[in-house]
Structure 1
Amino acid sequence: MATLSLTQFLSLDGVYQAPGGPDEDRSDGFGQGGWSVPYGDEDFGRFMDGVFRRPSAFLLGRRTYEIFAGHWPRQTDPANPVASKLNALPKYVASRTLEKADWAGTTVLGGDVIAEVTALKEGTDGEVQMHGSGGLARTLLAHDLIDTLHLLVFPVVLGEGHRLFADGARPTAFRHVEGSTTGSGIAIHTYELAGRPEYGSYA
């Protein structure tokens, strides 16, 4: 059975929307797309290269899939660890509106996303990776289906935008297993699912 990991870029106030460009996601009037780009240094690149050395498959939400599919198939350098894995490995896109997926190796999951992702994990070995896909991630987090979080927290407050842990998120405990900070100030933290929170009192 595969583990499911999520690699997510976040602002200090928890926003995941449109980190990579102005037009990635303007929904709800968001006008600050591209906020992560100024912080992309060599430390960041090394971490991301390392993440992309591990997957056996990818799971993406529709919007992230369309962004990736518009860029990565044109990147054909076999030495590029991101492009080589994204283009070669199986990809699954969860969407009820996408009727077909032209990117080679892509399967559309158009039914009950919880049942289909559970089956995907059970029928796959190794690590299934999610990148971005914040709306899908929130749904899967609510059902304890994401085993590992790689949260890259950028030193910027946006004050608007879609948040990974919004009001109403399921109370969940995680174990912090690794952390580092890039030269540009991105705090990279890895967490593993631990279950429900425990509570106490300092009184």
Structure 2
Amino acid sequence: MARELVYTGFMSLDGVVDSPGGKAEGHRSGGWVARTPFVPEAYSLKAEELTETTALMFGRRSYDAFAAFWPGSEDHAAYRDLPKYVVSSTLTDDELVDGWGPITVLRSVEDVAALKREEGGAIFIHGSAELARRLAEADLIDRYNLLIFPVLLGAGKGLFSREDMDKRNLRLRDSATYSNGVAKLVYDVER
């Protein structure tokens, strides 16, 4: 059975996915997740994902950002030993962090497609909006796990392509809303 590729992330109501925790992307509204009142159940999706995650995938910039923090983070200890895939044409083996499980560099969308054809469980993409957009354009994303935050940012990276392309239908798998205004939306890509 082919591996499922799942994009998981925080998104503003107007579709921005970058800089949820800080000003890493440089726009003035960085850190928008922390400004939403914390309600534990609004983040239950993240705990649910742990039971399914067999590997992680990142683009180069997201890998650099997460690799600087996640390996030593107790909040992310469950991810420590999982295999990781980084899609990058420039990352070298010398630049990979130690002590964060096996890390494989993939060089192209075609390499991701080949990985998906292998046996194994779900691979989750965290962050990595540009990578996710390229993979969606190649029809490689199977599911979107989104937490939509009640904020309009007006600037920042979007997850979805603005290019003219064939329509893709999504089927709602799960949804919930929370007292802080966050909405959970889990969609399967119909094929």
TM-score, L = length of structure 1: 0.84
Q: Could you tell me which of 42, 63, 83 is aligned with 1:90?
A: 83
Superposition deviation, residue 53 in structure 1: 2.2
Secondary structure of the 1:35 match is coil
1:106 aligns with 2:103: yes
In 1, distance between residues paired with 2:22 and 2:80? 22
Secondary structure of the 1:129 match is strand
In 2, distance between residues paired with 1:95 and 1:182? 37
Superposition deviation, residue 65 in structure 1: 1.1
The answer for the alignment partner of 1:173 in structure 2 is 169
The answer for the alignment partner of 1:198 in structure 2 is none
Superposition deviation, residue 169 in structure 1: 5.6
**Residues 74-118 of structure 1: CA distance to partner in whole angstroms, max 9, x if unpaired?**
12x4xx5x322x2111000011121131243111112xx221111
Q: Could you tell me which of 172, 183, 189 is aligned with 2:179?
A: 183
8 Å CA contact retained: 1:9, 1:19: yes
**Residues 164-196 of structure 1: CA distance to partner in whole angstroms, max 9, x if unpaired?**
12421633111111101122111110111114x
Secondary structure of the 1:19 match is coil
Q: 1:136 to 1:186 in 2, by over 3 A?
A: same
Q: Could you tell me which of 66, 69, 77 is aligned with 2:67?
A: 69
8 Å CA contact retained: 1:20, 1:36: yes
Give the ranges of 4+ consecutive aligned residues of structure 1 lying more than 4 Å apart after TM superposition: none
8 Å CA contact retained: 1:13, 1:158: yes
In 1, distance between residues paired with 2:122 and 2:164? 25
When the two chains are superposed, the root-mean-square deviation of aligned CA atoms in Å is: 1.6
* Percent identity of paired positions between Structure 1 and Structure 2: 36
The answer for the alignment partner of 2:44 in structure 1 is 46
1:141 aligns with 2:136: yes
8 Å CA contact retained: 1:43, 1:183: no
Q: Which moved more, 1:118-127 or 1:144-153?
A: 118-127
The one-letter code sitting in structure 2 at the alignment partner of 1:97 is T
Q: 1:66 to 1:44 in 2, by over 3 A?
A: farther
8 Å CA contact retained: 1:9, 1:16: yes
Superposition deviation, residue 10 in structure 1: 1.0
8 Å CA contact retained: 1:142, 1:169: no
Secondary structure of the 1:52 match is helix
8 Å CA contact retained: 1:118, 1:145: yes
Runs of 5+ consecutive residues of structure 2 not aligned to the other structure:
none
TM-score, L = length of structure 2: 0.89
Q: 1:19 to 1:98 in 2, by over 3 A?
A: same
The answer for the alignment partner of 2:29 in structure 1 is 32
